[in-house]
Structure 1
Amino acid sequence: MAKVRTFIAVAPGPEVVERAERALMRLRRLADNVKWVERSNLHWTLHFLGELDDQEVYDVCKAAERAAGEVEAFSMIAEGVGAFPSNSRPRTLWLGAGEGGDGLVDLHAKLEEQLRPLGFRGETRKYVPHLTLGRAGRSLRPAESVALAEDLAKLTDFEGGSQTVEELIVYASRLRREGPEYAALATIPLS
Structure 2
Amino acid sequence: MSKTRTFIAIEPSPDVVGHAERALLRLRRLADNVKWVERGNLHWTLHFLGEIDDQELYDVCQAVERGAAEVEPFTLEAAGVGAFPSQSRPRTLWIGAGAGGEAMELLHSKLQEQLEPLGFRGENRRFVPHLTLGRAGRGLRPAETAALAEELEKLVDFPAGNQVVDELTIFASRLRREGAEYTPVAHVPLAG
Task: Give the TM-score taking structure 2 as reference length.
Answer: 0.98
**Distance in 1 (alpha carbons) for counterparts of 2:52 and 2:137:** 26
Name the structure 2 match of 1:137: 137
Name the structure 2 match of 1:119: 119
**Distance in 1 (alpha carbons) for counterparts of 2:70 and 2:150:** 41
Name the structure 2 match of 1:33: 33
Name the structure 1 match of 2:97: 97
Q: How does 1:150-165 map to 2 (within 5 A)?
A: 150-165=150-165
**Distance in 2 (alpha carbons) for counterparts of 1:98 and 1:185:** 28
Name the structure 2 match of 1:173: 173
Tell me the CA shift for residue 120 of structure 1: 0.7
Name the structure 2 match of 1:190: 190
User: Does the 8 Å contact 1:92/1:137 carry over to 2?
Assistant: no
- Counting matched residue pairs gives 191
Name the structure 1 match of 2:81: 81
Q: How does 1:38-49 map to 2 (within 5 A)?
A: 38-49=38-49
Unaligned runs of 5+ in 1: none
User: Does the 8 Å contact 1:34/1:139 carry over to 2?
Assistant: no
What are the Cα deviations for residues 131-179 of structure 1, in whole angstroms up to 9, with x where unaligned? 0000003121111000000000000000000000000010000001111
Tell me the CA shift for residue 76 of structure 1: 1.2
State the one-letter code of the partner of 1:69: A
- Structure 1 residue matching 2:176: 3-state secondary structure: coil
- Structure 1 residue matching 2:61: 3-state secondary structure: helix
Runs ≥4 in structure 1, deviation > 3 angstroms? none
- Structure 2 residue matching 1:128: 3-state secondary structure: coil
Tell me the CA shift for residue 46 of structure 1: 0.1
- Structure 2 residue matching 1:180: 3-state secondary structure: strand
State the one-letter code of the partner of 2:61: C
Name the structure 2 match of 1:20: 20
- Structure 1 residue matching 2:173: 3-state secondary structure: strand
User: Does the 8 Å contact 1:46/1:108 carry over to 2?
Assistant: yes
Tell me the CA shift for residue 122 of structure 1: 1.5
**Distance in 1 (alpha carbons) for counterparts of 2:139 and 2:117:** 38
- Structure 1 residue matching 2:179: 3-state secondary structure: coil
User: Does the 8 Å contact 1:76/1:165 carry over to 2?
Assistant: yes
What are the Cα deviations for residues 65-87 of structure 1, in whole angstroms up to 9, with x where unaligned? 00010001000100000000000
Identical residues among aligned pairs (%)? 71
- Structure 2 residue matching 1:17: 3-state secondary structure: helix
